[in-house]
Structure 1
């Protein structure tokens, strides 16, 4: 009996020891201190030194008022983090123990039981150390010393005989926006910003899993799952998919193993607005001698994606085909959701992507001055049909090209492409944001007095990274169907004619160039990957980060939450063109949002009317990293600004839009980006602000999903006979049960003869209201004493229209405002 029990225990122990297992060290008791200071404080891992200092009440809230300026000393110090953890005898008996840091920010020396085991120098890489020989049974000591990234960057900069733009930040492989941007504060962080763990493994471990689509058609998908496996010694192993085994022989060291799989009648992955983003889930296990060593789960989406660039009469096309269908991309540029990244939870990423889907987007661009986002972001994009334009993390400068730097970046590319490539949402990999444009158009050569030799060296270093190393590395990692690479966004700067005839465009004639919004209708490129205009956040957002007495344009606290040097001056100049400028601060914030939404509506709809010449519109910017006046449509807390509500309307699959020629002739458009065909009656009406019908015209309209845009020119009455300041165009398209409506105005908002609306709100149920008005209520803004989400807001309420609005929860004291209230 004893022998049987003993044998059973041996089998259990063998089974346990064969399994790969993990020990999360993030949850241990961590402490930190400024180097050379004896006093230590409690730390949170993952975390940053700024958030740890704040949690220990050693600094004020970094976001509040102008505290940012008082906290710049932190970036120049070195910081030490440490913990003790106990290791059991059974844990140490594993053949291998790896110490894994998923993210170290940025220059870190790691000590394990007093010995240096790692020197890290890249925030974006995963660092793994074989740690068993440094560990012991019982108490172990782990210490990480973070060296000032600013000081390290300055040291590297001194090694060059010339100055690179943006100085120290370009030498440091960390999030570039942390050095300050025209929408974000300067908080150059340090810390263990992602999970740290021990990995226990024995005979073998799975280092990577990816898949290739060999064949994809209506009847079959033939796939190869490719495993990179490291084996301690050669032997017989098997990969098991479900209950199906795939045996093979592993040699000692690194092995690459292929597992073929066929899926009959495959269901394709589609982007938002075109179909279901279907995914297949697989669970693989690596086994030996009928013992499970390690398991991996993989979700995939079956799709084809192509970037089509073909010469035509005006230049060269730039558009994506998804599963053979040409897709007009609608979306925005995403920045990191916080200055302190460990505070960003999975739910934050889920919420961001959900807000993109609700606004009818199908693409988000992960901007190159931030970070490669956590898996949760890409998983949310996979599940919601949001395609991802993925930049590598370089922005608005030139970078060094020495061997050490290039090799560091190469490992960064390998780590992140291996992590992200299986996501069906990934559409394109882009080398950088605006580096190429900056070099050719921003005058750096003159500003920094480069010699001819300097310029040659800097450009050759650029080509070495973005035309050489990165695309070659992608070629080694990705199958052809996943390998779409674009070296720099934009391909040509906005001041050059070619920027609107080929490649992607960042058009900044509006805002930076002070050109009127209407220029958007003339300056349309092939794929608009950046353009934008600022709007203030709601008053409630600003109240969270400044005192009541600081809510004015002269306070230092308020000025600190506008990072563009002429931000409010520019907003005010545009507001004077289009609106009556309010004197009240709260009204001004509201009108600034209307101004932003108006400008972006003109841009988005001009881009969509130009389909198929233009095949994408990604505005700047989607979100914020702190409470601030910026180009975002979502504020830091996730609240929808007027612009986000407008984006939702302008991104609808079926859009009714109007174009006005210089002679004030109207052309109406029915734009269809979906899969469904529509045919029916298009009706145009002119009504005054009391709702009285002044003119109407009807026409048959057909809008096919396979076509581009249906343009209809209706005979129009002489505008001399119409009081354009007291009337609007109502456009309706009725196709079966589908009813689409839009309203257009002849004159700018400041010139409209608005009268006081009698707005009535009727409670339908706890989360539903009906709103109506006796006359036109322009730009109706709903708010509540408690924080909640209104399903529609900042909308034009037409005379006698009854509009149903859904609420996220029961409202306490709904307040309503319209543009009329600000024009007194």
Structure 2
């Protein structure tokens, strides 16, 4: 027999210690949702305010300092006759004791692991009470910190002393909401004879002597036997692409390997490089002709290598898939919600589709979050999004002593085994910024010889990957230079994180870098207006209003926004102008960086912007805000990550047109480059035929009559190549003599949408339509459009048919840099 009882219903949540708990909550118990967490249950019961609104977060710190219990019951009548009865816990957050009918049956100390507990000794016929008691995460972590000795980290929280999602303890983009709860499914599993305890497929591709391709699936299987099933003969079958292999496990044998080969399989490719064919792999366990257990996943055939060879420029860091070097166009991924059970397959799909629509081909799952659900990796498989997976260590010195060391190894082995089927996963990375922190952040002195994680990154984790799934590369950290005696954040060697630009210097400093691979870089901006208004209902919105400051978690974040804005746009006291211009400035900064990095291909093999998404409504580096709305940065990424890109770049005292071709086809055309007055008049022009090889880039120097202005504040360069037009302005926006924005607008409903056609009568810079200011559900299909006089652009506003046309065509909904600068009489721009 095999019976599974899913324990989803009739859970009761209680606070187990009334001290520090608001009186209206007490310990009487409320209905709980499983999977879920304490915060979401208290929210559902309307016992706490929404922690994402206003400054409510600060009132809820007691939740993470309170012990909690979840209780339910189940009927064991259907389990009679089972040789084994186990409790399967896919995820307990975090320090938990599990009791059945008052008897302890197991405990958890790790959010990132699953657990299986034997229930037989405590099980009763009929009704059984299951109770999961959660200790305070703070209490556990702080006690372990006292025991092991403090370690430095980037935030004044004990997150490295508990194996829990670190960003629950707050980050420079996230709130402090320290959760507890049963966060993944929990069930009773009754079984006889044997079960599949572990299935790890290792998928490789080989070329035979005759040139044909052969896919090989080596499946490592571990079975667990019941005591009466110790001597049973078991049959194991593996099937993929209509090919099947079987092996017999004699009595007492619990481990085996089985290999299935597939002739000429279709190869899996990252998006933009080919298709993503997937094959069903099914593993079955049987005895006496009866199936006992089964496991099924989809796999893909592909090879992946990480080229970290040394050349004249330093150390490469290039992903090579099926023998082809890949230009990475990526973003960092953080948990999409602080309360992770609110992120299901549909929400993953929306967010990953936003990455695809922005022409990305890689997401880096950052080490302060979690190993994502199967849904995330399956969707990346289907869409061709490469996954760089961090092990869960970020921005801290991590103790290597018990009990953490044992937890880290068990967690790592489970994670590598669980994620082995997914072809999208192409890298295991040891940590985020911890090696860099040890070098540069004063950790050595504070540690005074205590452990900090080096043994994890350089010994334990690479050993786990090599033993569990050697088909994928491992890298010790990001940033990391490849060897311990070279600075970990040296741009010439492997990965670099560029944060001086946001923290200290102007974003034009990106052009001073000659990196090999940029794994983090970013620039802040506030979220969409509708997102702000939802998070701060009733508050007068100002950059320094109490709610705005609370939803800005970066140290001196608003100061850095202002200092980043001033050289380009000056200063403004108007909130609507500030909101628009900081968003434009974010998009400009990242565009400048990526265009510069792409111009260096193949020496620079990729960029991974910080960050794609947010976990709540906040001013941050994200392209998609905490309510899923696309900021102007997202539209800029879509443009700069396009398969074919034309960009005008500075080159000494002149200019060069860089043409980047990330396709398998040669790109031949003629570039028509013109220096123009702001009224569109051509002052000088040149036509340059060009050919860019497949997966290549070329540089076309521009003649001085085009590259050098007559009047820098009144001229620009345009480059038309058959793809999105490239622009070059000779001065900063604050100094440009922008004309008053003049345009005609035609607004036409189209079903449930709205089409807004703008025809320029003057130069319009970064024309953007903020439909969410009129309806939180409305969104334009484009932003940051620059038009010359006489040119037109049509925006499609999804869900906008009902909007007032008169409001659609005026600020603050329809914006240009021209009107934002003129409204304040900025330098060079008359009011």
Shared fold (TM-score, shorter chain, > 0.5): yes
User: Is the 1:316–1:502 contact (alpha carbons within 8 Å) kept by the matching residues of 2?
Assistant: yes
Q: Aligned equivalents of 2:697 and 2:246: distance in 1? A: 55
Partner residue in 2 for 1:182: 172
Cα-to-partner distance string for 1:708-728 (whole Å, 9 max, x where unaligned): 311001213177753332332
Give 1:440-589 correspondences, 5 Å limit: 440-446=439-445, 448=446, 450=447, 454-455=448-449, 457-458=450-451, 462-479=453-470, 481-482=471-472, 484-491=473-480, 499-512=490-503, 514-589=504-579
Inter-partner Cα distance in structure 1 for 2:621 and 2:131: 41
After superposition, the Cα gap between the structure-2 partners of 1:281 and 1:801, relative to the gap in structure 1 and judged at 3 Å, is: farther
Q: For residues 497 and 390 of structure 1, what CA distance do their matches in structure 2 show?
A: 19
CA distance in 1, matches of 2:393, 2:238: 40
The alignment of Structure 1 onto Structure 2 pairs a total of residues equal to 787
Matches within 5 A, 1:1-40: 17=1, 20-35=2-17, 37-40=26-29
CA distance in 2, matches of 1:201, 1:812: 58
- Measured against aligned partners, the alpha-carbon deviations of 1:660-709 in whole angstroms (never above 9, x if no partner) come to 1352x110011011211111211112233332222210111001114x31
**3-state SS of 2:368 partner:** coil
Residues 674, 706 of structure 2: 8 Å contact kept? no
1:751 to 735, 738, 760: 735
Equivalent in the alignment of 1:10: none
Q: Distance in 1 between matches of 2:108 and 2:119?
A: 16
Cα distance change, pair 670–792 in 1 and its aligned pair in 2 (3 A): same
1:126-170 Cα shifts (integer Å, max 9, x gaps): 011122332222211011111111111111111235544356221
2:364 corresponding residue in structure 1: 365
Matching residue of 1:13: none
Question: Does the Cα contact within 8 Å between 1:33 and 1:81 map onto a contact in 2?
Answer: no
Distance 1:93-1:471 versus aligned 2 partners, 3 A rule: same
Displacement after TM superposition at 1:575 (Å): 0.8
Contact conserved, 1:92 with 1:132, CA < 8 A, in 2? no
* 1:387-435 residue CA offsets vs partner (Å, 9 max, x unmatched): 1110011111111111321111111011111111110011110111111
CA contact (8 A) 2:666 2:694 kept: yes
* Structure 1 residue 623 displacement after superposition: 1.0
Paired position in structure 1 for 2:660: 671
Q: SS state of the match for residue 75, structure 1? A: helix
| Map of 1:270 onto structure 2 | 269
- Structure 1 residues 343, 34: closer, same or farther in 2, change over 3 A? farther
Contact 1:333 1:619 in 2 (8 A): yes
Does structure 1 retain, via aligned residues, the 8 Å contact 2:11–2:70? Answer: no
Tell me the equivalent position of 1:5: none
1-structure distance, mates of 2:707, 2:202: 61
SS at match of 1:645: helix
In structure 1, what is the equivalent of residue 770 of structure 2? 783
What is the rounded CA distance, in whole Å, between the counterparts of 1:21 and 1:713 in structure 2?
71
Q: Which deviates more, 306-315 or 543-552?
A: 543-552
- The answer on 1:301 being equivalent to 2:300 is yes
Shift of 1:496: 5.8
Pair 1:118-2:112 in alignment? no
- In 1, Cα distance between the equivalents of 2:50 and 2:706? 60
With over 3 angstroms needed to count, the CA separation of the structure-2 counterparts of 1:161 and 1:774, relative to structure 1, is closer
Show the counterpart of 1:395: 394
For 1:248 and 1:458, locate their aligned partners in 2 and report how far apart those are by CA, in whole Å: 45
Q: Give me the whole-angstrom Cα distance separating, in 1, the residues matched to 2:529 and 2:157.
A: 36
> Can you give the 5+ residue segments of structure 2 that lack an aligned partner in the other structure?
19-25, 824-831
Aligned residue for 1:221? Answer: 215
TM (normalized to structure 1)?
Answer: 0.92
User: Take 1:253 and 1:806, find their aligned partners in 2: how far apart are those partners?
Assistant: 66
Give the Cα–Cα distance (whole angstroms) in 1 for the partners of residues 307 and 444 of structure 2.
Answer: 34
- Cα distance change on mapping 1:641 and 1:112 into 2, 3 Å: same
Between stretches 625-634 and 579-588, larger displacement belongs to 579-588
Q: Secondary structure at the match of 1:599?
A: helix
In structure 2, how many angstroms separate the alpha carbons of the residues matched to 1:92 and 1:638? 49
Indicate conservation of the 8 Å contact 2:478/2:495, yes or no.
yes
Deviation at 1:806, TM superposition (A): 4.0
Matching residue of 1:231:
225
Q: Distance in 2 between matches of 1:629 and 1:791?
A: 22
Q: Distance in 1 between matches of 2:599 and 2:410?
A: 43
Show CA shifts across 1:605-642 (max 9, x none): 11110111111100111111110001111101111111
| C-alpha distance in structure 2 between counterparts of 1:111 and 1:105, whole Å | 16
1:746 Cα deviation from its structure 2 partner:
2.0
- Mapping for residues 131-146 of structure 1, pairs under 5 Å: 131-146=119-134
What is the match of residue 674 of structure 2?
A: 685
Whether the aligned pair in 2 keeps the contact of 1:231 and 1:251 (CA below 8 Å) is: no
Any conservation in 1 of the 2:64–2:178 contact (CA below 8 Å)? yes
Paired residues of 1:300 and 1:423 also in contact (CA < 8 A): yes
- Asked whether 1:44 is paired with 2:33, we answer yes
Distance change in 2, residues 1:679/1:530 (3 Å): same
Q: TM-score, normalised by structure 2?
A: 0.91
Which residue in 2 is equivalent to 1:601? 591
DSSP-derived class of the 1:648 partner: helix
Counterpart position of 1:661: 651
CA 1:81/1:223 → structure 2, altered by over 3 Å: closer, same or farther? closer
Structure 2 counterpart SS, 1:337: coil
- The match for 1:106 among 94, 108, 121 is 94
Contact kept? 2:238, 2:281, Cα under 8 Å:
no
- Find out whether 1:628 has 2:612 as its counterpart: no
Alignment partners' CA distance in 1, 2:338 and 2:743: 44
Residue 556 (structure 1) shift: 2.2
Q: Write the distance in 2 (CA, Å) between the matches of 1:718 and 1:283.
A: 63
Q: 1:102, 1:720 → 2: CA distance?
A: 64
Q: CA offset at residue 282 of structure 1?
A: 3.0
Residues 240 and 287 of structure 1 are in contact (CA less than 8 Å); yes or no, is this contact kept in structure 2?
A: no
Does residue 163 of structure 2 align to residue 169 of structure 1? no
Is residue 709–residue 730 contact of structure 2 (8 Å, CA) maintained in 1?
Answer: no
**Alignment of 1:772 onto 2:759:** yes
Q: Which residue of 2 aligns with 1:645?
A: 635
Q: What is the aligned partner in structure 1 of residue 745 from structure 2?
A: 760
Deviation of 1:201 (Å): 1.9
Q: What's the CA shift string for 1:269-321, capped at 9, x where partnerless?
A: 11111111221123343333332222322211111111111111121111111
Q: 1:341, 1:727 → 2: CA distance?
A: 50
Distance 1:329 1:215, change over 3 A: closer
How far apart are the structure 1 equivalents of 2:609 and 2:724? 24
Q: Please tell me whether the aligned partners of residues 648 and 727 of structure 2 are also in contact (alpha carbons under 8 angstroms).
A: no
Q: Is the 8 A contact 1:230 1:253 kept in 2?
A: no
- State the alpha-carbon separation in 2 of the partners of residues 621 and 399 from structure 1: 24
Please tell me whether residue 72 in structure 1 is matched to residue 56 in structure 2. Answer: no
Superposition RMSD in Å? 2.2
Alpha-carbon displacement from aligned partner over 1:23-43 (angstroms, at most 9, x marks no partner): 210233433334355411111
CA pair 806-268 structure 1, distance change in 2 beyond 3 A: farther
